[in-house]
Chain A
Amino acid sequence: MPARLSSSPQPIRMLIVDDSNIVRRRIERSQQIPDLQVVGSAADGREALEMFRATDPDVVTMDITMPHMDGIECVEKLVQMKPEVLILVISALADKATAVEAMEKGANGFLHKPFSDRQLNEALEELLRGARAP
């Protein structure tokens, strides 16, 4: 578990990865988790790797269908860099095989697009609850 997800008062740092600017802005605007701080956003997998190194987030929301490097490959690389990172995949790809593949690569949760604000916050809460569980 990342140190910042323990009971310490430090903010939980989140990186948002999606090739849609409006989806990135929507996630940032709609998330209402106390202590969750958006530290960066990226529009594709390559940019996500750079932002990840620069911002050291605890939590990442990850799209799958993106140019240059897709989300599945990016999840795998992020987990290699920081095994304790929590990754919520947010994708329109609604088949089970994609969700299973993302989880096998190291994602911790999956939220389908389109999503409501409530669904986003529930998914983030569940992600963090899982990380805090003993």
Chain B
Amino acid sequence: MIDERDIRTFVNGTTRYFEVAAQQPASLGSPYLATQGFPELHEFTGAITVSGRRHGVVYFTAPRGMLTVLLMRMNESNVSHENLCDLVGEVANTISGNARRDFGDQFAISVPIVSVGDAARVPPPPDCLPVVIPINWRSHAARLVVCLK
């Protein structure tokens, strides 16, 4: 189970991503435990599996509109399906990788595994209550879902 300090690590990483990569800060909602089952996913989801001292999965899930605008903010004119998949994985990878600043090098992360649609290709570990961090950026909503043991 992750604690408040761990959640702060992911909140900070998400905040940093939008400030630097998109040059436009995101507004993060209050993190909450998904006690009523796994949270609903948006159209694109990047998953990073975590092993080592912790294990589990970190998901960044976002709608097409947000990813398209995010690419454009990065001066990327190619907003193809492939690049949207690439971006959602890269966001998940960057936020998870940045978490090693606090968790150290025993927080081993995988390459991104991207899924499209409402089912993630990587299931969360059993008996793990997901923590959801709501992300609001411009007029779009996304989520970071952290399932760590």
**A and B from one assembly?**
yes
Show the binding face of A for B, using Cβ within 8 Å.
Answer: 19-23, 25-26, 29-30, 65-67, 91-95, 97-98, 112-116
Stretch at the interface among B34-42, B96-104, B121-129, B139-147: B96-104
Show the binding face of B for A, using Cβ within 8 Å.
Answer: 16-17, 20-21, 23, 71, 74-76, 78, 82-83, 86-87, 89-90, 93-101, 103-105, 107, 109-111
- A65 CA to B89 CA in the complex, in Å? 12
- A65 CA to B50 CA in the complex, in Å? 13
Contact B90 A20 (CB under 8 A): yes
Residues of A within 8 A of B82 (CB): 21
- A116 CA to B99 CA in the complex, in Å? 19
Contact B104 A92 (CB under 8 A): no
Q: Assuming A19-B111, A65-B93, A67-B111, is B98 touching A25 (CB within 8 A)?
A: no
Sample 19 A-B pairs with CB under 8 A, ordered by A number: A20-B89, A21-B82, A22-B71, A22-B76, A22-B87, A23-B90, A25-B76, A30-B75, A67-B111, A92-B95, A93-B109, A94-B99, A95-B101, A95-B107, A98-B100, A113-B98, A114-B16, A114-B20, A114-B21
CB within 8 A of B100: which of A20, A67, A94? A94
- A116 CA to B87 CA in the complex, in Å? 16
Most buried by A among B71, B78, B87, B100: B100
Residues of A within 8 A of B99 (CB): 94
Contact B74 A92 (CB under 8 A): no
What's the least CB distance linking B10 to chain A, in Å? 13
Contact A65 B104 (CB under 8 A): no
Q: Assuming A22-B74, A114-B16, is B93 touching A94 (CB within 8 A)?
A: no
Contact B86 A21 (CB under 8 A): yes
Contact B109 A65 (CB under 8 A): yes
Residues of A within 8 A of B21 (CB): 114
CB within 8 A of A93: which of B71, B87, B97? B97
- A116 CA to B24 CA in the complex, in Å? 12
Known: A92-B98, A112-B98, A114-B20. 5 other contacts (CB 8 A): A20-B90, A93-B105, A95-B100, A95-B101, A113-B94
- A115 CA to B97 CA in the complex, in Å? 13
